[in-house]
Structure 1
Amino acid sequence: MDLILWRHAEAEPGGPDLPDMERALTPKGQKQARRMGQWLDSQLPESCRVLVSPAVRTVQTAEGLGRKYKTHPDLAPDADPEDILKAANWPNSKEAVLIVGHQPTLGQVASLLLTGEEQDWEMKKGAAWWFVMRETDDPSTLYLKAVMQADLVK
């Protein structure tokens, strides 16, 4: 199974007059989402499922991909790493899954996958981390296929 974690791009700051779920992307964030979306679209299989947090900034980030997506309430900003993995059907999904979500949860998912422990790893805004789990004759093999930041793609 391929699991791609994509942190939303740069968003406007929250505040007392702007609920967290309604924060939108900044102009820089819109550019990050388009750049990373184009790169991901060129790399992802056609059958990839795209699951997105219902927050405005994650929906806007996913729109940069130009593919159909489904919002999923279990991916909201207060999600638990286990909620993310359950929503993706990790590691049992027969198709690749792209999750568009938030920090610190995505960094915690990455650390959980790679070390078996939930730690607060930093994932930059607009970045994507691509994990692959393959069933082999030996025990399942997990590896980190790619880490890409929006400012590295043109």
Structure 2
Amino acid sequence: MNLYLFRHGIAAERSDKIHDAERPLIPKGQRRTRLVARRLQQIGLRFDVIMTSPFLRAQQTADILHEEGLGDLPIPLPPLAPTGEFARGMAWLQDWQQNHTTESNVVFVGHQPNLGHWAEQLLWGKVGDRLIVKKAGIIGIKLGNLSHSETNNELFLLTSPKWLP
């Protein structure tokens, strides 16, 4: 099973006027995300499921992935919010893995540093603040059997948007 971790596109700056959860993608963020999505579609990538943080900027990013033909309508997954818990996200992923083929492609659309931390946990078993996902960037991890304590997960993709279009 392949897990893709996709960071939301460039969003409106933080401000006292708008709650963090409601910050939208700015036009440049929409364009860049769409370019990345088109490139992924051109190379034949398709997601079996698009899971997204409930925050607006991540939802808009996930919607673009859907609009560009990369998968069905996105489904909100609360553990993907900036305050989300890794264990809850992994529980969802284990359930998915047990009920679907080993060749499935799942994308989690979320936020940094969470996505980098989740990748580090899956790859090395601990967080080291070393993996950084750029806005509209993507990480791909080939997952072993998540129900085993010793699993061999493999990083196969780590790229920023400037390398895709």
Q: Contact 1:10 / 1:126 at 8 angstroms: preserved in 2?
A: yes
Q: Distance in 2 between matches of 1:122 and 1:132?
A: 18
Deviations 1:79-113 (A, max 9, x none): 12223322333783533210000111111001111
- Farther-moved stretch of structure 1 (6-15 vs 36-45): 36-45
Q: Distance in 2 between matches of 1:71 and 1:59?
A: 8
Q: What TM-score, normalized to structure 1?
A: 0.86
Flag the 1:2–1:52 CA change in 2: closer, same or farther, 3 A.
same
Note if 1:131 corresponds to 2:141: yes
Q: Which runs of 5+ in 1 are unaligned?
A: none
Flag the 1:90–1:97 CA change in 2: closer, same or farther, 3 A.
farther
Give the root-mean-square deviation of aligned CA atoms: 2.1
Q: Distance in 2 between matches of 1:142 and 1:152?
A: 24
1:49 Cα shift? Answer: 0.9
Flag the 1:79–1:140 CA change in 2: closer, same or farther, 3 A.
closer
Deviations 1:5-35 (A, max 9, x none): 0010111112111000100111211112101
1:141 Cα shift? Answer: 3.4
Q: Distance in 1 between matches of 2:58 and 2:27?
A: 14
Q: Distance in 2 between matches of 1:20 and 1:104?
A: 15
Q: Which runs of 5+ in 2 are unaligned?
A: none
Q: Distance in 2 between matches of 1:104 and 1:90?
A: 24
Q: Match for residue 35 of structure 1?
A: 35
4+ residue runs over 4 A deviation: none
The partner residue of 1:113 within 112, 117, 122 is 122
Query: Percent identical across equivalent pairs?
Result: 29
Matched residue count: 150
| Alignment of structure 1 residues 4-153 onto 2, 5 Å | 4-42=4-42, 43-45=44-46, 48-65=48-65, 66=67, 67=71, 68-89=73-94, 92-93=97-98, 94=100, 95-120=104-129, 121-134=131-144, 140-153=151-164
1:134 Cα shift? Answer: 4.3
Q: Contact 2:53 / 2:81 at 8 angstroms: preserved in 1?
A: yes
Q: Distance in 2 between matches of 1:33 and 1:8?
A: 8
1:150 Cα shift? Answer: 1.4
Q: Contact 1:75 / 1:83 at 8 angstroms: preserved in 2?
A: no
1:56 Cα shift? Answer: 0.8
Q: Distance in 2 between matches of 1:75 and 1:27?
A: 23
Q: Contact 1:88 / 1:99 at 8 angstroms: preserved in 2?
A: no
Q: Distance in 2 between matches of 1:41 and 1:15?
A: 34
